[in-house]
Structures are given as structure tokens and as C-alpha cells.
Amino acid sequence: MADAPDDTPPESKLTRTKQEWARDGRFLTGERERPDSERLPPGQHLMKNWPVLDLGLHPDVSTERWRLQINGAVEEPQIWDWARFQGSVQSEATTDMHCVTTWSRYDNRWAGVRTRDFVAVVRPRADAAFVVLGSYDGYSTNLPLADFTAFDAMLVHSWEGRPLTKEHGGPVRLLVPHLYLWKSAKWLRSIEFRTADQPGYWEVRGYHERGDPWTEQRYAD
Ligand SMILES: Nc1nc2c(c(=O)[nH]1)N[C@H]1C(S)=C(S)[C@@H](COP(=O)(O)O)O[C@H]1N2
Ligand SMILES: [Mo]
């Protein structure tokens, strides 16, 4: 037999430091890295432009008139205006989007408020498990709280360095990159935290409760 390797693995200052990083979760972004081959979910095709898809109403909501109602299972129901929203911790993220109608678009640069930072401020009650988003066009959609607060989910006001256009849901829309885009309510008007789920506009019309593109959760069974 060849030389038996020393079975005591080497340790050094560096390995000890790295072990500490592992313990502390250092550098964890919360983002899931996917290999390039898995970046495009099954049945999707890539688009260079950004299509507009909605119920056909494009409500005209100025930043002056815009309000966000935050209610339900939260410590303190509140209504945010534009200044309050702008005064919240701002972030940028570059993420993909996947529409159930089979188009996907890569590398969209967003600016806004991460839903994680948002819930840290509004504090949903411990029994809150779902959110229902309401929009100025009458649209609604529901999400498990865990999906709503995914690391890269954001209440966005800008795309590629410019204010979100009316067609794409300005002044503020939700963006939840890891679910089909119907979960990303445009012209956001209300966020209700709930202990029980309540299906939204498309969810009562045959679309899936959760909408994970990688497992093709397009339609309800
Ligand atoms: N308020 C509102 N939000 C909405 C919709 C809508 O009709 N009203 N449509 C959803 C659907 S089905 C899709 S695919 C995306 C489209 O967003 P886009 O028009 O910016 O591409 O918005 C989602 N959010
Ligand atoms: Mo959609």
C-alpha cells in the first residue's frame, strides 16, 4: 500500500477563520446560486425587451397621491406615504423575472426597499403566515410570508436607474424574483398580513397557490 496519508487534516489560522465564518454564516447573501443551465426555468424562453402584462387598466398614481396601507396581523397597522417609503432603508438588486406566459427576462436592476427590511419595521405578528397584496387596479395576489420576505424580494420604485413607468406598475410594485411574475403586484396599494391564506385574482382563476417556476407550478391541480 502507498503511504497512508496523515489522517489528521491540517489546521491553520486560515482554516480556523473559515470555520468561524461557517459558524457565523459569514458572506451568506440568502441568494440561491443556480448553475447557468438551471437559470432558465423549464418551458420558459428569454426575452430582451420587457412585455407589459396586466388586466388592461393602468391606474395613474402620482407619488403625491400614492399611499400604502399596511394592515392585518401586524403590531401596528399604518399607512405609508411616498416620503415614508423613500425614508426607509433603500437597496439595489439585479434579478431575473419569469412570467407564467413563458417569457423570462434576465438581469433587471431594481431599486427599492427589501421586503426583509420592510417587515423588520412593520413587524408582522408571530402568527402571521401569509400576505395579500392589493393594487390600485383592483388586482390582488397572495403569498406565504416566507416567499414575500425572500432575500431578493423588494418593493421597487426604479428599474435600470429610472423610476418605474406606469405600465410596469409605478410608482411602487412588488418584485419576487423566485416566483412567477403574477405574484409581483404592480401599483401596490395594500399589504395585508394574515394568519390564514386567501387566494388572489389569478389564484381563484386556476393559477397555482405558490407559483414556483422551477417546478412549473403554473396551474392549480
Ligand atoms: N396590479 C397588477 N399587478 C400585476 C398584474 C395586474 O394585472 N395588476 N399582472 C401580473 C402579471 S400576470 C404579470 S405577468 C406581471 C407583468 O408585469 P409587467 O407588465 O411589468 O411585465 O404583473 C403582475 N402584476
Ligand atoms: Mo403573467
Mean pLDDT, rounded, for 131-143: 98
The answer to whether residue 7 scores a pLDDT higher than 60 is: yes
Q: What is d(CA 30, CA 196) in angstroms, rounded to the nearest whole number? A: 26
Choosing from 184, 188, 189 the residue with most ligand 1 atoms within 8 A of its CB, the one to mutate for a pocket test is 184
Mean pLDDT, rounded, for 74-96: 97
**pLDDT range class, residue 28, cuts 50, 70, 90:** low
- The finding on whether 40 has its CB within 6 A of some atom of ligand 1 is no
In Å, how far are 73, 101, 168, 185 from 162, measured between CA atoms?
A: 34, 26, 12, 19
Q: Which of 95, 53, 117, 54 is closest to 213 using CA atoms?
A: 95
The answer to whether residue 174 scores a pLDDT higher than 50 is: yes
Q: Which of 180, 157, 177 is closest to 103 using CA atoms?
A: 180
Q: Which grid coordinates are listed for 186?
A: 404592480
- The finding on whether 55 has its CB within 6 A of some atom of ligand 1 is yes
The answer to whether residue 96 scores a pLDDT higher than 80 is: yes
Amino acid 2: pLDDT: 47
User: Residue 135: nearest ligand to its CA?
Assistant: 1
- DSSP helix/strand/coil, 133: strand
Could you give phi then psi for residue 103, rounded to 5 degrees?
-95, 145
Instruction: Kindly state the helix (H) or strand (E) to which residue 15 belongs, with its residue range.
Output: helix 13-24
Work out the percent of the chain whose per-residue pLDDT is above 70.
87
- The finding on whether 135 has its CB within 6 A of some atom of ligand 1 is yes
Q: How far is the CA of 7 from the centre of ligand 1 (A)?
A: 58
User: Residue 173: nearest ligand to its CA?
Assistant: 1
Q: How far is the CA of 185 from the centre of ligand 1 (A)?
A: 6
The answer to whether residue 177 scores a pLDDT higher than 50 is: yes
Q: Show Cβ contacts of residue 108 under 8 Å, excluding neighbours closer than 6 positions.
A: 50, 94, 95, 96, 97, 159, 160
Amino acid 13: pLDDT: 74
Looking at the whole model, is its pTM more than 0.75? yes
Domain 45-50+66-201, CATH class in plain words: alpha beta
Kindly list the domain boundaries of the chain, sorted by start residue: 45-50+66-201
